[in-house]
Structure 1
Amino acid sequence: MGLQWVFFQAILAGSLVLAILQSWAASVSAQGQGFLSLNCGGTNTFTDKNGIVWVPDIPYIFTGSVSQVSASAQQEEPLKSLRFFPGSRKKNCYILPVTPYGTYLLRATFLYGNYNTLGKPPSFDIQFNGNYWSTVSISDANTRVYYELVLAPPANDISVCLAKSTPTDNPFISSLELRQLAPSMYPKVQENKALSLHLRMNFGSVSTDDIRYPSDPFDRIWSSDAPLVNNYIPLTTNRSVSPGITFDKPPSAVMMTARTTANSSLALGYSFSLSTLTLNYYVSFFFAEIATLAPTDARIFNIDLTNDINNASFFGPLNVQQEATAAFTSVEIYANHTSLQGPATFTFRPTSASTLGPIVNAAEIHLVFDSLTSGTDNTDVTALEALKSSFNLTSWTGDPCLPAPYTWDWLDCNNSSPPRVIALRLSNMNLSGTIPPSFSKMTALTDIWLDNNNISGTIPDLSALTNLRTLHLQNNSLTGSIPQSFSQLQHLQELFLQDNDLSGPVPTKLGSTPGLTFRFSGNPNLCLPDNTSCSSTVPLPPSPVGSTAGKKKSNISPVVIGVVIGAVALILIAAFVVFCVRRANVKALERQQIPLSPLSTANTGLMSHKDPPKQTQLYTFEEIRIATQNFQKKIGEGGFGPVYFGCLADGQEVAVKMLSSTSNQGKKEFFNEVDLLSRVHHKNLVSLIGYCYESKEQILVYEYMPNGTLRENLYGSMVSKRPLDWKTRLSIALNAAQGLEYLHTGCSPAIIHRDVKSNNILLNKKLMAKVADFGLSKLAPEEGATHISTMVKGTAGYLDPEYYITNQLTEKSDVYSFGVVLLEIICGRQPINPQLSRPELNLVEWARPFLQEGRIHDIADPALRQNYNTEAMWKVAEIAMMSAELHGVNRPTMNEVVNDLKEAIHLEKGTAAPISDANAASPFSANQAQVFPRPHRGPLDHSSDFASRENSVVEGR
């Protein structure tokens, strides 16, 4: 009867959800396509007075309770109901369907309404796609507050999460709205950037009512400027105003009103309360001339910005009549990433040529969210989805690890980028189902607790979990044999398999693994192998009295138990003695000679060099600590970890790179770099002086490069100190190319760097460039082979697309990356510019059409001020584009790149003479070097042609 009742309830619930979805689908045509309006906590579908269809939130969230606001709140639907989230769960998430890379407006609304009769609105956080959005702050029970985003999600859904910021406050939400915007709107919103609304203002409105759908087809909420009015004159027209060429398409209803001053001697000023912190804002003003002007009238004005950190011209002069290409066509002025600090005052100040006061119709100010997270590692997310499905954990939604510390309650994550799942804590959760095979793809896992559940099926192959330390599977219903692959997990310390239904022989290696606590009692069909055979009918002893086993029975006598325990103990003791002796021998050898990494033994004798091997010093941690003065001066940060300045006892300055506890690199990359840099030596490769491998410390000691990275010198922190002129850039390009050429042709077998980028090209005192960071390097394919098949690694923007698609690595992958570096040197731009309006438009694709049209000067870094030989610039651009060809077979070799760069230097010098020293720091004499100051770039392109402004938005710098 109970089972039948559960089945009936499931059918009923499914029917309700289906009916809701059908009702919502039928209503889409009644409003803008891409609208989704959730009545949180509601049970009915309805259409509001504006024609917007609201649906219950049941299909989009699996958790929470529902309630009604108090009668005193006196709000219309959908604000009569709400969903709240009691309990200890850190966050509860909605999942909303979207089209990837579409531009969306997302709005969350909150009305407390004293639903819980406590009289005190709670405080909590709201998050989106693993990013912090805002802390919800509500002043009183009957005030509606809403938070709004504009974003372009890269996936087919958006997660909106309500998170506990204090243990006693339960989050709640009244409504959640999603509006799809036109593709051209808010062009600076990208996959890694979003806008959070600060204010949206309708100037000159005769009503205090908000303007929204259907007056605004995108359902933005435009508020009246009445609270900000300072005796300014309202203007109104009955004629429709077209949004014209504006990107953000203000609605006609908003543009039909405006504010102005009585005459041209008066300025128009508005103050906006902004954050007390220095943040980046996206500011937009909209203008349309809606008054009837005489032929001699002119409305020309500048816009000034005044706040705690700015006191300068924002834009101007602006002539609204001339800027508008047709009657009542609006003009949009905006600034991206403008640093503001509250309060900020924008003043519209007439020029001497103006006969009328300034005018403004509408405004938007958004806070810019830069560098949005791409979320938890996608491999882990996919594996977790399979695990959730198998164990019926589907109520857990949103990003599992982000934003920290709001992870799912039953897992732990590290701080790498992207974060990885390192522990699963699912003990005693009454789970049933099987362990999915994709479990093994969560390769960062160190600890797994699945004990005391009802998990069935066999144990999958977990040999890929090389970091695993703890695996607790006891007290389940697992069947099959114990995988032999467990013996391959070198870091495994606890393996608990007792009290299951496992069968077959116990792998003998597990009993002799040093440092492993292995428990397998309470599996009646397991057996210990003997010299002849091992039958599943030869049982093992049960768990000892007082253990958690309880549920298994066995007839084996205590004598057998003693024999088994004694044998295992002797094996473990013997293994421990062997381990200690071997460790002592290794330590003795470390003090006498330079150890080769474990990874290098297979290649011993394979590598030959034109230079003799150079000794690499082994340092103690105490020596490193003293050299860095207790790690006092941090000079950088990479995927491996922080880098510190140090000075050795002999006075040599060094860069000390430490493995971070949150690093996504590890022992393999560490020894790979030690091994390679102990064997390869070239003037254009950063030298490894020594290393430290002590306890948990992994430290690399390099020669110090005081002028930082090429990236810093092109568009980073070093630019203001030492802008690079064109001749210096050419020299750096040749230096770096020669370093890569040596890796490809001067070593046997060749070495593929695999992470060539401007951040891995360092500059010494004389600005000679050296290639660094060999942690991801690979030996090139053996003779007769065309490539190496390997997991794709590298840096976005530099990654060879052919390697990314095929997983086949060749030397031409380095050539592609170096082609991108050459474009950086020419353009002074990032490989993936955060200001580009199209997320798929990288530096190569951005530059190509300019070069095809012969517009070399349009892509050259303005800091060069065209102080370069055009032929030499063209030569480098050709090298860059040939190197960045889609197919590796069409790219040059590094040897060809070096020769072509030498030719470019000849062109720059105006000579055909060969360079005598290919490894020289600079082919130019000191008196030829020139330094040009980088011009200040303001927040706007002040071109008089608005079409040019539009192009600057699309292309971005």
Structure 2
Amino acid sequence: MEQPTAASPWLLLLCLAAVATGGVPQARAQLESKGFISIDCGLPGTASYVDAGTKLSYVSDAGFTDDAAGANHNISAKYIRPQLSRRYHNVRSFPDGARNCYTLRPLVPGCKYLVRAAFLYGDYDGLGRPPIFNLHLGVNYWQTVNVSTPGSEVTAEAIVVVPDDFVQVCLVNTGAGTPFVSALELRPLKMKFYPQANLTQGLLVEHRMNLGPADETNIIRYPVDPYDRVWIPWADPKEWTEISTTRQVQSDDDDYEVPSAVMQTAVTPLNASKKNLDISWDPVPQPRNPSPGYFIVMHFSELQILPSSAVRQFYVRINGMELNMTAAKLYYHGTGVISNVKPYRYDKFNISLHATTNSTLPPIVNAIELFSVMPTSILGTDSQDVSASMAIKDKYHVQKNWMGDPCIPKTIAWERLMCSYTIAQTPRIISVNLSFSGPSGDILSSFANLKALQYLDLSNNNLTGTIPDALSQLPLLKFLDLSGNQLSGSIPSGFLKRIQDGSLNLRYGNNLNLCTNNNSCQPAKIKSKRAIKFVVPIAVTMVIVVVALTLFSSLRRKKRGSMKNSVKPQNETTNDGDTSLGLETRQLTYIEIERITNNLRHVLGKGGFGYVYDGFLEDGTQVAVKIRSQSSNQGDKEFLAEVQILTRIHHKNLVSLIGFCKDGEHMALVYEFMSRGTLQEHIVGGDHNTICLSWRQRLKIAVESAQGLEYLHKGCNPPLIHRDVKATNILLNTRFEAKIADFGLSKAFNHDNETQISTNVIVGTRGYMDPEYQTTGQPTTKSDVYSFGVVLLVLVTGKPPTLHNPQGISIIEWVQQRLAKGNIEGVVDVRMHGDHDVNSMWKAADIALKCTAQASSRRPNMIDVVLQLQECLKLEEDHAGGEANTSFYTGIYSNDQNLRYDAYPTNQSTNVSQSSTGFEMEHSFGRVPTMDNGPAAR
């Protein structure tokens, strides 16, 4: 046998030790001495029992899956019969969630295991409708479970090499009934067993047959088979003659260690003169893999003492092809194995044992195992990230869809968690958002094990204790929100250094016991009570004077610049009625405005507020001056709101306010000059002399605009909703860097009461407005996300948000209709002449449609959007640099013409109204299976 990868001697020794001793001690449920895990799913509480047949201990599933997930049920009494194994008497069903998982541990990474799942519906819910659902082993599809009748027993069995110290069995809801499970079993195997199984492919047990026993109910498993393989008896008196022996049949060099009880029986043709023994087998097509590869493993032993003149030699042929190049010659009570090294793919299998010309006796065979290939090459999330995220889940009792692998499959990745996906590398967790999720206690050290983490939001919870300095050592962390907790102590020095060098944005406001200055955390040296009475008032007075002088001096000296790395708690509030403002932005008279604009000579554009004029300051700096017109709907309140907002927000992707004028009825805003004008002009009209932006430029603009919105939503305190995100409010400078403008309609909100913000007037721009906001009158940050999604579609298509061809249709519907056909080029702006990476374009369209989901709860937040767009940009940059992309991003699209893109994440359930798959073995371990779809003797 060939093995794709050679196992190291140390690994082999470790696996042998695991098989011999039962591996690492089990903390949650008792393991058998041989390392077996036997779970009766649905068994109440911590109950356990010893199986009457195998004498193995079965335990409840408590500790192997979330206690709050699923419900225990007993099957209907009419399906309980004397020969039915006890593990089928009850089930655990999972009506909630797309995926529910069991975690089997502890295992030895790199070792080989047999994993078995058993199902009997038994009308436990009284509905009389057996469900259809998918079964996954880790992140890889295992099989579709299709229970044909309420009393049918279905078993799924796989042989796999596990990469980690655990393996997960997941039930995935496909919309065709509630998933359930009766029992789960795991058995360690020796590494030499079934060498066809490795890290990239597992083996699915189609049939494991003990040929020839007279007693058709004599199913062999543990303890006769010490590895608890289940051998089903099969005899066909019309075609075969049974040969048997009572002597021990087992060789020391047997690579499979088939039990002697299995090898003690064999079959041979009924007619001794017949030279062939034939078996035919029709594989059942599989929903996910209509043409899988198959392995056939045949076990042989000579059970008769042959006279010296007798010869038994034969070849094994699969569909006419010789499997063994040298004729098989058997030895008395010795054992041998013949199998294919590479998988065969046929619609029908004809297995023929053909005697050689000098053979005087017909062929015999003792046992046959039939396997289909289960690809296990999908890379799950980095194992360290998985361990850390599972520890976080357990510590904080996260009640979300945190089941199975955190990142894979993408469609059911963990809620409020973002991952990076790169070709040929394991996914990494880059963002965790547990704000308003209720975690309490200390900040878990496991966060520091998420080495690829960029964003961590733990705000507005009940966290206590100190801030662990280990978090500051995360190399990629650039945003950390700890505000609104009950943290104490000082800010560690590692964070202060990161804040100083600008590599980290730390938010920690509303932690009453948290010291913002190391010195303030040091207890004062108390000399005497009398000294305190005098020292304290004097010290307080001095501090107040020094602070006041410092602030006054700072405000006079401070020029316009970035404040993004401020480490002070940001607890400011907006007061729309404050006309004095008290801000560092320059206040101008109307005469100065006229002088700056050269008497309003050159108009740059016009908006809802009024005209925008070209202007120059005294030092020659070019500026844009927006002057309120008499017909503008914006009054003093909106004007002052925009001024106050712009004086306290500072970000490279937000237009900077240089000055303002509030001189009687004259109102004006002086902005930094953006020489390239609006995004609208470059994409869907305006100046015909504008440059057509490449896809890379458009993506860069999208990333920068998203970063600006992310800052408004997460970097401001209180956070801000823009409420008028559109292509005309995204401005470009000389280097085509994007900045968001026009904050006259912006609204501050409080995280605690975001959904209760309501306004008297619905504001925004047609085509960009969130339909949920229009219905409820309550804007949220997801309203901005929706508008940004429209902007992203505009960037992809080069078309306006509303199209007329010939009837009015939104750009969202227009894109949906075309992408449903699977052709991304049908929506791409033709002016880019196909100069783009198709993966990047697919992904961008996918993000845009998720942003514009009808329900705001299903839209991503701007942190997620930024991360996804950065991945798009990386794909495009790799494409431009000539790097090959071997994978193809298909996003959420299918051939379904009626597909609606109104979910986030998208549900990619497949149609499961199909016949049962070849993976299903509809038999029990207490009766002979029907073989209608299995091998047939000839």
Is the aligned partner of 1:387 residue 2:398? no
Q: Distance in 1 between matches of 2:60 and 2:129?
A: 26
Partner of 1:405: 411
Pair 1:455–1:204, CA change in 2 (3 A): same
1:510-566 CA distance string (max 9 Å, x none): xxxxxxxxxxxxxxxx99986637999x998664699xxxxxxxxxx9689765986
Displacement of 1:362 in angstroms is: 0.7
Superposition pairs of residues 344-359 of structure 1, within 5 angstroms: 344-359=349-364
Aligned residues of 2:42 and 2:61 also touching (Cα < 8 A) = yes
SS at match of 2:239: coil
Aligned residues of 2:382 and 2:427 also touching (Cα < 8 A) = yes
Pair 1:489–1:328, CA change in 2 (3 A): farther
1:235-266 CA distance string (max 9 Å, x none): 22222211453311211111111121113444
Aligned residues of 1:211 and 1:223 also touching (Cα < 8 A) = yes
Q: Distance in 2 between matches of 1:57 and 1:175?
A: 9
Is the aligned partner of 1:570 residue 2:583? no
**Residue type matched to 1:129 in 2?**
G
SS at match of 1:439: helix
1:574-614 CA distance string (max 9 Å, x none): 965679979969x9xxx9xxxxxxxxxxxxxxxxxxxxxxx
Partner of 1:185: 193
Superposition pairs of residues 154-165 of structure 1, within 5 angstroms: 154-165=163-174
Aligned residues of 1:301 and 1:316 also touching (Cα < 8 A) = no
**Residue type matched to 2:313 in 1?**
I
SS at match of 1:570: helix
Displacement of 1:200 in angstroms is: 0.6
Displacement of 1:331 in angstroms is: 1.0
1:365-407 CA distance string (max 9 Å, x none): 2223345345312342344245335423499564222344333
Is the aligned partner of 1:279 residue 2:292? yes
Displacement of 1:186 in angstroms is: 1.9
Partner of 1:40: 41
Q: Distance in 2 between matches of 1:574 and 1:146?
A: 59
User: Which of 106, 109, 113 is the aligned partner of 1:104?
Assistant: 113
Aligned residues of 1:243 and 1:252 also touching (Cα < 8 A) = no
**Residue type matched to 1:305 in 2?**
I
Partner of 1:54: 58
Superposition pairs of residues 249-398 of structure 1, within 5 angstroms: 249-261=257-269, 262-276=271-285, 277-306=290-319, 312-316=320-324, 319-321=327-329, 324=330, 326-393=331-398, 396=402, 398=404
Displacement of 1:300 in angstroms is: 2.2
Partner of 1:792: none
Q: Distance in 2 between matches of 1:145 and 1:385?
A: 30
Displacement of 1:425 in angstroms is: 4.1
1:271-303 CA distance string (max 9 Å, x none): 223243222223211111223433222222222
Superposition pairs of residues 381-780 of structure 1, within 5 angstroms: 381-393=386-398, 396=402, 398-416=404-422, 417-436=425-444, 438-439=446-447, 442=450, 444-445=452-453, 448-457=456-465, 475-478=484-487, 485=498, 499-501=510-512, 532=550, 543=573, 563=583, 569-570=646-647, 572=649, 698-699=876-877
Pair 1:504–1:40, CA change in 2 (3 A): closer
* Structure 2 unaligned residues grouped into runs of 5+: 1-24, 519-543, 555-565, 585-640, 658-670, 680-690, 692-796, 798-834, 845-870, 887-938
Q: Distance in 2 between matches of 1:330 and 1:696?
A: 57
Q: Distance in 2 between matches of 1:295 and 1:364?
A: 32
Partner of 1:71: 77
Aligned residues of 1:243 and 1:250 also touching (Cα < 8 A) = no
Pair 1:46–1:499, CA change in 2 (3 A): same
Larger radius of gyration: 2
Q: Distance in 1 between matches of 2:304 and 2:873?
A: 78
Give the share of equivalent positions with the same residue, in percent.
Answer: 28
| TM-score for both structures, normalised by structure 2 | 0.51
Aligned residues of 2:837 and 2:875 also touching (Cα < 8 A) = no
Q: Distance in 2 between matches of 1:528 and 1:424?
A: 41
Pair 1:303–1:119, CA change in 2 (3 A): same
**Residue type matched to 2:152 in 1?**
T
SS at match of 1:126: strand
Q: Distance in 1 between matches of 2:485 and 2:373?
A: 50
Aligned residues of 2:296 and 2:370 also touching (Cα < 8 A) = yes
Pair 1:282–1:394, CA change in 2 (3 A): farther
Aligned residues of 2:508 and 2:569 also touching (Cα < 8 A) = no
Partner of 1:176: 184
RCO higher in structure (CA 8 A, sep ≥6): 2
Displacement of 1:452 in angstroms is: 4.2
Aligned residues of 2:509 and 2:570 also touching (Cα < 8 A) = no
Partner of 2:138: 129
1:436-468 CA distance string (max 9 Å, x none): 455355455565554443234455676677877
Q: Distance in 2 between matches of 1:528 and 1:70?
A: 80
SS at match of 1:405: helix
Pair 1:415–1:51, CA change in 2 (3 A): same
Q: Distance in 1 between matches of 2:147 and 2:500?
A: 57
Q: How many residues align?
A: 569
SS at match of 2:385: helix
**Residue type matched to 1:330 in 2?**
T
Aligned residues of 1:463 and 1:486 also touching (Cα < 8 A) = no
Aligned residues of 1:443 and 1:466 also touching (Cα < 8 A) = yes
Superposition pairs of residues 819-858 of structure 1, within 5 angstroms: none
Pair 1:275–1:545, CA change in 2 (3 A): farther
Aligned residues of 2:28 and 2:63 also touching (Cα < 8 A) = no
Pair 1:465–1:583, CA change in 2 (3 A): farther
Q: Distance in 1 between matches of 2:515 and 2:580?
A: 18
Aligned residues of 1:96 and 1:158 also touching (Cα < 8 A) = yes
Displacement of 1:338 in angstroms is: 1.6
SS at match of 1:83: strand
Partner of 1:605: none
Is the aligned partner of 1:222 residue 2:231? yes
SS at match of 2:220: coil
**Residue type matched to 2:48 in 1?**
N
| TM-score for both structures, normalised by structure 1 | 0.50
Aligned residues of 1:456 and 1:478 also touching (Cα < 8 A) = yes
SS at match of 1:179: strand
Pair 1:316–1:391, CA change in 2 (3 A): closer
Q: Distance in 1 between matches of 2:53 and 2:129?
A: 31
Pair 1:229–1:101, CA change in 2 (3 A): farther
Aligned residues of 2:26 and 2:105 also touching (Cα < 8 A) = no
Q: Distance in 2 between matches of 1:285 and 1:406?
A: 40
Q: Distance in 2 between matches of 1:571 and 1:428?
A: 25
1:823-856 CA distance string (max 9 Å, x none): xxxxxxxxxxxxxxxxxxxxxxxxxxxxxxxxxx
Aligned residues of 2:102 and 2:170 also touching (Cα < 8 A) = yes
Aligned residues of 1:463 and 1:489 also touching (Cα < 8 A) = no
Displacement of 1:217 in angstroms is: 1.9
SS at match of 1:156: coil
**Residue type matched to 2:428 in 1?**
R
1:38-74 CA distance string (max 9 Å, x none): 2222223224223222223323333332221111132
* Structure 1 unaligned residues grouped into runs of 5+: 1-18, 307-311, 508-525, 547-556, 592-624, 626-653, 664-692, 712-957
Pair 1:386–1:144, CA change in 2 (3 A): closer
